[in-house]
Chains A and B, each alone.
Chain A
Amino acid sequence: MLHVQKLSLYQAQQALIQNLSFQVAAGEVLSVMGASGVGKSTLLTWMIGALSSAFTATGQCFLNQRRVDELPTEQRQIGILFQDDLLFPHLTVGGNLAFALPAHIKGSARQQQIDTALEQAGLAGFAKRDPSSLSGGQRARVSVLRALLAEPQALLLDEPFSRLDTALRQQFRSFVFAQIAHLQIPAVLVTHDLADVPSDGRIIQL
């Protein structure tokens, strides 16, 4: 359960978001919509703990009853997906995934888990490939796998579908939603496009 309580975001004394509270249940995808510049992405950067110094915020964020908004990013256990896949270009596809995998998975189990994840994503045998040799859709799927292999307790999606063309978009969307449902973690999706919102998903309009 992800719980944002009484969040207000200011940019140079001007309120972007005022007194926003919401809860997201495990396995649910909450969509945040609104015109550009309204503070949708800023909301996500606050939740992940990377708010730029141009902004100030008041409010609290709880993840599974644990208060996280005062923790550094790396201790929040919240994953994020951006518009760009941001795969690390100096690592192979497998290297990117191994980077995300927790250290308690050791030895051959690491490679096995990476291979299984790739296989489920329809990318069997891609571990040794360089990210630059993949298509946009394939890269997007790897970036999802990377975020999820780190075993996050929640996932934030910052318009991750907007770069893909219509055909790929539909496919990728259902892939992401299926993963979230499977892992039973709360997710917050920021988007411009109503079509991105899962069927009977809740929407917050900013």
Chain B
Amino acid sequence: MRCLSLANTNSQSVDRGLSFIAWLGVLLILGLPLLGLIPIFMVGLQAKAWQLLWSDPQFLPALKLTLFSAGISTLWSLILACALVFLFYPSKTWQRLQQQLPIFLAIPHAAFAIGLVFLLAPSGWLVRLVSPLFAWTAPPTWLTTTQDPYALSLSLALTLKETWFLLWVMTGLISQEWLVKQSLIAKSLGYSAWQAGWQILFPQVLKSLAWPLLAVFAYGLSVVDMALILGPSTPPSLAVLAWQWFADPDPIQQLKAQVLALVLVGLLVLGAGGAYLAYKFLTALWSKPSGRRQRTSVIRFLSPWFSYLLTLPFWLSLGLLLLWSLADSWFFPQIVPSRLGFATWQQAELEPLLMTLWIATCSVLISLPLALLWLEWGKQRQAYLYLPLIIPALPFTAAQYQLALLLKLEGSLSAVIWSHLAWVLPYILLVLTGAYQRLDTRYLLTAKTLGYNTWQACLYIKWPLLLRPIMAAAAVGFAVSVAQYLPTAFIGGGRIETVTTEAVSLSSGGNRATLAVQAVLQALLPLFAFMTATSLSRWYARQHPGLN
């Protein structure tokens, strides 16, 4: 009893202390880099910097390339994700897709891109498959199916990967009862599921998709790892160009890199504006329905193939990664390796793996408690916490680098972990917020009426109740950290090597088997995290059957 009353007298100061920690953490992780953006914006005021950029012969072609690949992949992933929902929800195919979704989401972009190279490259599996038809004994040199000058393979990879991200977002939206009923109403009025989807559901979910779409576009604008693996090199995409210039100690190149980072932000704003205009145009178009009902025989006929078209590249890529990592010798045009073995695995460098594990674990161990503190003692709805997911990664990382430089921490492990937190924390918050808001507030209130302060009520009641979403968030945070290329390479200054940086640097030539091993490790780490979280969740649910 004495203990309880003591806790009560202290409860206000405890609350204040925890609130302080939450705010301090968020400021250090997100506030500082945002401040660090200011000097980069100042560079934008120098006319000379713009002149330098403009006169660079690589700038304009790279700009076109980047706008094309980011724009087309955003548009297509939206169309494909919607098509999947409209064609298959809530059929058996849909349930199958839902089972595969976590795996596709967990595979890091870099590992997927490397798998696609093994699949699509002139020496890749698809060409090997058709080579008997043309009697090819060597990879056709005229073929540029990867690193093509138009960035088509990069766009394809982005499209496929982001489709699953948008599908994940839409899964949350579409399961709402009223949307299902509206679709039924439209069908009872004579429209096919396909038409009901585009004319009734699409206009309504589009608003909720605005931010995720912006994140997809921003990712496409500033992706570096995938672009290094699949994108063209002369010229490369804008983000790669900026990344190369940042790596150059020449102050002129540095200046160009900083303006280029600004250009990426400008493109994002431009893209958002364009999307808004397109939205207005579509709304006007939708406002006067013509009443035309379409027959859907073609779509019905195509649809079973359609879902495979989107899942197959992932399974083939994963399979090829695994096969290559086990291939002792595998020459063109063999479809399977002539000899399998563990030689490459035995010689594999494992330091990057340990480093990745270490960084990801630290990132989660810092972000997760901080996210929980923030949700309780910070402010729950704060859009700016998600800024790192929406502004292009390049300027943000550049700002982080400037700060690390200032504190003489560049190339240090702690600085790399800190840089990862800027993405790990928002993603953990994103996953937790929904579950946090859905939890019945009366649990916490009941605990308080029993005499516990907020901290105790959270520790003993709220967080144990939320253990499953907390574990899911931890797994997502881990996966996000594993997949980070740019901050690791940038802040780490080449001295911190993770499976991701290793896989990307090995992808430019060198031994395919060695590359495959690192890519497999990169893909396995997040999968391992998700599997652990799922099995722990199941175990916990069995212990507490009343928990839902």
A70 contacts the other chain (CB 8 A)? no
CB atoms of B286 and A101 under 8 A apart: no
**Is B293 close to A, CB under 8 A?**
yes
Q: Which residues of A contact B90 (CB under 8 A)?
A: 52-53
Complex: chain A residue closest to B190, CB-CB: A74
Whole-angstrom CA separation of A79 from B15 in the bound complex: 57
Q: Would you give 15 A-B contacts (Cβ < 8 Å), ordered by A? A: A48-B184, A48-B188, A49-B187, A74-B189, A80-B184, A86-B181, A88-B200, A90-B286, A91-B287, A91-B289, A98-B289, A98-B290, A102-B291, A103-B293, A110-B291
- As a 0/1 sequence over residues 184 to 214 of chain B, the CB contacts with chain A under 8 angstroms (1 = contact) are 1111111111000001100110000000000
* Residue of B with least CB distance to A49: B187
Residues in A lying within 8 Å of B, measured CB to CB: 48-50, 52-53, 72-80, 82, 84, 86, 88-92, 95, 98-103, 105, 110, 146-147, 150, 152
Cβ B187 vs Cβ A74 within 8 A? yes
- Given the interface contacts A95-B287, A95-B289, A110-B291, does A90 sit within 8 Å of B203 by beta carbon? yes
Partner of B286, one of A79, A91, A110: A91
Question: Are B192 and A101 closer than 8 Å at their CB atoms?
Answer: no
Chain A residues lying within 8 Å of B293, measured Cβ to Cβ, are 74, 102-103
Across-interface contacts of A95 in B (CB, < 8 A): 286-289
Shortest distance from the beta carbon of A63 to any chain B beta carbon, whole Å: 13
B199–A99 touching, CB < 8 Å: yes
User: Could you tell me if A150 and B204 are in contact, using CB atoms closer than 8 angstroms?
Assistant: no
- The reply to whether B199 and A74 form a contact with Cβ atoms under 8 Å apart is no
Q: Looking at A73, A98, A146, A150, which has the most chain B CB atoms within 10 Å of its CB?
A: A73
Interface flag for B182 (CB, 8 Å):
yes
Known: A72-B192, A88-B200. A80 touches B185 (CB 8 A): yes
Interface pair B199/A84, CB less than 8 Å apart: no
Report if B281 contacts A (CB, 8 A): no
| A73 & B188 in contact (Cβ 8 Å cutoff) | yes
Given contacts A90-B204, A110-B291, A99 and B189 within 8 Å (CB-CB): yes
**Is B142 an interface residue, CB under 8 A from the partner?**
no
Q: Mark B170-187, 1 if CB is under 8 A from A, else 0.
A: 000000001001101111
B181 touches A82 (CB 8 A): yes
Check A146 against B189 for contact (C-beta < 8 Å): yes
Knowing A50-B184, A73-B184, A95-B288, the reply to whether A100 touches B189 (Cβ < 8 A) is yes
Nearest chain A CB to B427's CB is how many angstroms away?
Answer: 30
The 8 closest A-B pairs by CB, nearest first: A73-B187, A103-B291, A103-B292, A99-B289, A150-B189, A90-B203, A98-B289, A74-B187
Contact among A49, A78, A88, A98 for B288, CB-based, below 8 A = A98
Residues of A near B185 (CB, < 8 A) are 80, 82, 86, 146
> In the complex, what distance in Å separates the CA atom of A69 from the CA atom of B271?
47
Taking CB atoms, residues of chain B closer than 8 Å to A102 are 190, 291, 293
* A80 contact from B188, B191, B286, B288, Cβ within 8 A: B188
A84 with B181: CB separation less than 8 A: yes
Do A99 and B291 form a contact, CB below 8 Å, given A84-B181, A88-B182? yes
Interface residue ranges of B29-86 to A (CB < 8 Å) = none
Smallest CB–CB gap between A152 and chain B, Å?
8
Query: How many Å lie between the Cα of A194 and that of B412 in the bound state?
Result: 77
Number of B residues whose C-beta is below 8 Å from A? Answer: 28
A105 smallest CB distance to B (angstroms): 7
List 19 additional contacts besides A53-B92, A100-B189; criterion CB under 8 Å. Answer: A48-B188, A50-B184, A72-B192, A74-B188, A82-B181, A89-B204, A90-B203, A90-B204, A92-B287, A95-B287, A98-B290, A98-B291, A99-B189, A101-B289, A101-B291, A146-B185, A146-B189, A150-B189, A150-B190
Q: How would you classify the secondary structure of chain B's contact residues: helix, strand, loop or mixed?
A: helix
CB neighbors of A among B276-292 (8 A):
283, 286-292
Closest-by-CB residue of B relative to A146 is B189
Of chain B, the residue at the smallest CB distance from A81 is B185
Contacts of A86 in B (CB 8 A): 178, 181-182, 185
Those of B281-326 within 8 Å (CB) of chain A: 283, 286-293
* Chain B residue nearest to A90 in the complex (CB): B203
Residues of A contacting B192 with CB < 8 Å? 72, 74
How long is the Cα–Cα vector from A110 to B286 in the complex, in angstroms?
15
| B189:A103 contact, CB within 8 angstroms | no
Give the Cβ gap from B176 to chain A, nearest Cβ, in Å: 12
A79 to B191, CA, bound (A): 12
Question: What residues of chain B lie closer than 8 Å to A88, measured between beta carbons?
Answer: 182, 200, 204
Shortest distance between the CB of B73 and any CB in chain A (Å)? 26
Q: How far is the CB of A53 from chain B (nearest CB, A)?
A: 8
Known: A99-B289, A110-B291. A77 touches B190 (CB 8 A): yes
Please give the distance in Å from A133's CB to the nearest CB on chain B.
Answer: 16
CB contacts under 8 Å to A, within B236-283, are 283
Chain B, residue nearest A73 (CB)? B187
Q: Give the CA-CA distance A110 to B289 in the complex, in Å.
A: 10
Contact assessment for A72 and B289 in the assembled complex, using a CB-CB cutoff below 8 Å: no
CB distance from B203 to the nearest CB of A (A): 4
Q: Which residue of the partner chain A has the closest CB to B207? A: A90
Residue of chain A at shortest CB distance from B177: A84
Residues of chain B with a CB closer than 8 A to A147's CB: 188-189
Minimum Cβ distance to chain A for residue B499 (Å)? 41
Q: How far is the CB of B265 from chain A (nearest CB, A)?
A: 31
Q: Which residues of B contact A91 (CB under 8 A)?
A: 286-287, 289
Q: In the complex, A146→B283 CA distance in Å?
A: 20
Which residues of A lie under 8 Å from residue B203 when comparing CB positions? 90
Q: How far is the CA of A86 from the CA of B289 in the complex (A)?
A: 17
Give the docked Cα–Cα distance between A72 and B183 (Å): 13
Q: How far is the CB of B200 from chain A (nearest CB, A)?
A: 6
User: In whole Å, how far is B444's beta carbon from the nearest beta carbon of chain A?
Assistant: 32
Considering the chains assembled together, what is the distance between the CA atoms of A80 and B185 in angstroms?
Answer: 7
Q: Which residues of A contact B184 (CB under 8 A)?
A: 48, 50, 73, 80
Q: CB-CB < 8 A to A150: which residues of B?
A: 188-190
A52-B186 Cα distance, complex, nearest whole Å: 17
Q: A101–B293 Cα gap in the complex (Å)?
A: 10
Q: A73-B188, A74-B192, A89-B204 are in contact. Are A103 and B181 (CB under 8 A)?
A: no
Question: In whole angstroms, how far apart are the Cα atoms of A159 and B286 in the complex?
Answer: 30
Interface centre among B187, B203, B286, B292 (most CB of A within 10 A): B187
Taking CB atoms, residues of chain A closer than 8 Å to B178 are: 84, 86
A75 CB contacts on chain B under 8 angstroms: 190
Tell me the complex Cα distance, A76–B189, Å: 9
Closest A residue to B288 by beta carbon equals: A98
